[in-house]
Amino acid sequence: MFKLTRQVLQAACSRCSSAHQLLPKKTGQQYASVRRMCIKILDTDSEDEGSLPRRAMIYVPGSDLRKLAKLSSLHVDCAVMDCEDGVAANQKDAARQNISQMLDTLHTPHVRDMTVRVNSVSSGLAEDDIKTILKADRLPDTMILPKVDSVGHIQWFGDKVEQALDGRELHHKMRLLICVESALGLLHLPALCEEGLWQSHNTPFALEGVIFGSDDFCADIGAHRTDDAMELLYARQKIVTVAKAYGLQAIDLVHINYTDLQCLERQALEGAHMGFTGKQVIHPNQIPVVQKSFTPSQEKIEWARELIDAFHEHHEDGKGAMSFRGSMIDMPLVLQAKNILRMAENT
């Protein structure tokens, strides 16, 4: 019997990807089903929700050399050197040049993930960003593609990254995060995640997460921002649900009042309880509050370890339902405990 190896699947997926648009509608639907199956098989041995924690993700404008230099002293999971919203229109070229230089010269011992956010595909500026930034000797760990509304944006990005690298040998793939910032992007999110994972097997990047761009989203749907963010509840829940369905990280909205740390903590904990894996920040003072909110407490870690140990012991004895600390325990609670331990190991 013929065995479908990983190499065979990758080759088959790569070949059929370029031809599927020529197929009749019914056959095209069958192709889509096969592609989803291939993605699941190819991703079987990858770690859920990315292996690199991004509890706090801080944006720094690439046009400001002074602020970029401060990254060397920051303790943060993810630092984003920005070409997009944080940069004035007449400073775009300076930003991309600064970022390329800083990637090679800036020492950031306490930043786990050095990231670059390019401009959106629709802006017409992203290609110059990609060409300039990927000339650096040290490539960014992660790239962020903002305002993703269609699978075509991801396909375009993959093509331009490959062209910019021009056969350059990589020791490991760059990571990709995509931003949902419109009603259309939210509606298309399952297809965007699927396309990103599909592209991850044939391009120099691997999709790891979804970021919620709340301010642009509010503008797009005509909503008004409030302190409790209730107007964004549906969008936040959908982003978490879809991202987790595809094994991706979900990064929550920015809390724009950077002086109100009490409100920030409340919103960060709310996001963590909803299932988000991290949160965007805009000021260094927000980092400790956010990273603590997305880190399991020692009490939670001990609860998770004891629950899992008790569960294994109980099942080895051949018993059915079990009680732990006065509560009945079933498999969903065991899975929650495993999630807590995985988060603790990564942070």
Active site residues: 330
Residue with tokens 């919203």: 85
CB 78 within 8 Å of CB 115 = yes
Task: Give me 140's structure tokens.
Answer: 């960014």
Distance CA(267)–CA(255), nearest Å, equals 8
Amino acid at 264: L
Task: Give me 109's structure tokens.
Answer: 């011992």
Nearest to 294 by CA among 307, 281, 309: 281
Distance CA(177)–CA(175), nearest Å, equals 7
Nearest to 214 by CA among 276, 299, 128: 276
Nearest to 35 by CA among 185, 194, 261: 194
Task: Compute the CA torsion angle 92, 126, 75, 73 (nearest 10 deg).
Answer: -30
CB 253 within 8 Å of CB 229 = yes
Task: Give me 192's structure tokens.
Answer: 């965007």
